[in-house]
Structure 1
Amino acid sequence: MFVKNQEYKRTDIHEQFGGQGQGGISTPAHQNIILLFTSNSGRQYGYSDGWTNEGIFLYAGEGQQGDMKFTRGNAALRDHVMQGKDLHLFTYVRKGFVCYIGQMVCTGFRYDKGPDASEQIRERILFELVPLDFFSEAGSLNENLEREATTASLTLADLRSKALSNSVTSRTPTERKIAYYYRSQAIKDYALKRAEGICEGCNQTAPFITKEDQPYLEVHHIRRLSDGGPDDPQWVIAICPNCHRRAHYAKDSLAYNQYLGRLVKDKEAKLAFATI
């Protein structure tokens, strides 16, 4: 969709995808994406975006005056994983033109105090954004961090609990980043266990058994362009390789992904009812 480090004219982006042409958070209607724009000029309105030493991009929420609230764009950004929306971050390089930083994941947020456009001190929301690559690259985690025990041996109920868990607000940004990594792994394991060796797309038995004596199915993210990164159980499905290719490359891929979405929604509703 977008190429890292490539420049784009912002109006061209909106002509293709829609969304608000002004402001930092753009939420195109009928699209599974949210567009984020950052620039140094935001400092005059109390915004101060940028990278931390831990590889987290702090992104100030929208709202030029008064306390920032979780409405409109701020709510959409906070809930993007649950809603199956991809985040794409751009930075202004000159008037009207932006450079694509990459696809991001919001792993949490925090509040701070600072001046608004009228120099009045107000409460601001700082979103913590992590590059999607962090979750798909096996070597991204600090080797000194102690990994959690494998989730493969857990029950379906235990995996579902882990898959639905949110990062604890009292954790540090880095701890929230790591927690989302583990949550993404739990979601993948959960989808595989939920399938019970049967493709959730075509309802056929997994094509073969792996060396680990497990039925082979692939995890597909229904509302993502890629199959990387953390997600919500309602957007993740375990399917056979043939169905997986269909979901990505078939002429009817859009309709097929919608069909897969309905299947998962029905399954999750039944599982949620069973745990009440």
Structure 2
Amino acid sequence: MRKSIKMKVNYEYTNQDIMNYFDVANSGGIRYSKKNNVLVIISFHRDDNSSPYQDDWKERTLYYTGQGQNGDQELTRNNKRLNESKDNHTKIYLFESFEKTKYIYCGEALLTGKVIEATETDSKNNDRLVYKFPITLQNEQYVIYDDIIRRNMNKKEKNIRKLSDKELQRFAVKKSQFNHDFYKETPEKTSNSRVVLSRSYYRDPYISEYVKKLSRGFCGLCGQCAPFKDKNGEPFLHSHHIDYLSEGGEDTLSNCIAVCPNCHAKIHTLNDPKDKEKLLKNVSERDEK
């Protein structure tokens, strides 16, 4: 491997960086360097439903889908190299890609269990046999921000909504069966999960509670009474920042209002300018009293 650059966990790299550092080819999810006896594994997370690969995390182990987009996969070529990596002392380096041309370095990994056979659809939507390789990271450093996962999932869900009812049913049934079989085959017996890093925005509890008191139990958007009372007998409302804290909004009374859970979900789902205008108007009228 070339040492002109040093790969750092959690950093983004280009395809050219990967090629130069590991002496591997310029494309593919599994790339082998005969010179260095190294496998570079890239887990692509597409949001357009075009990828036939469905990689699944269970904590720090990635069940990586083998090579081959159409038809039954075979334990040949790079799949064979990955399957025999432990016996052949082949080093594995893992990357994840959520955007084109950007690759996040996860670190060195190791094949840590038997390969699992599963049924999935290929790029032509035909059922086929695939192999799942359990690849476990050898360090505790790699984490991914939850907003990257959430943003990718939101884009994927948007594209899923474009499917016909028949297509949606087919994919849902196949994925349900796969999850059931996968659960039985994996030793952890746990649902898909992974370590993520959350970004938290501090909300002052004095401001939050005060705007709820000012609401007198009524939603600042729809004007309806809170849907229920909590265990302390208080109307259940959310304190909402009109200009989001995550986008630079201030944690101030003039930027905060109490809304019901239904309207809160509506605000964040639709981002309707008319709703924002109404909230600002209601805050202004509230503060004048």
User: How high is the TM-score relative to the length of structure 2?
Assistant: 0.45
If you compute each CA radius of gyration, which structure gives the higher value, 1 or 2? 2
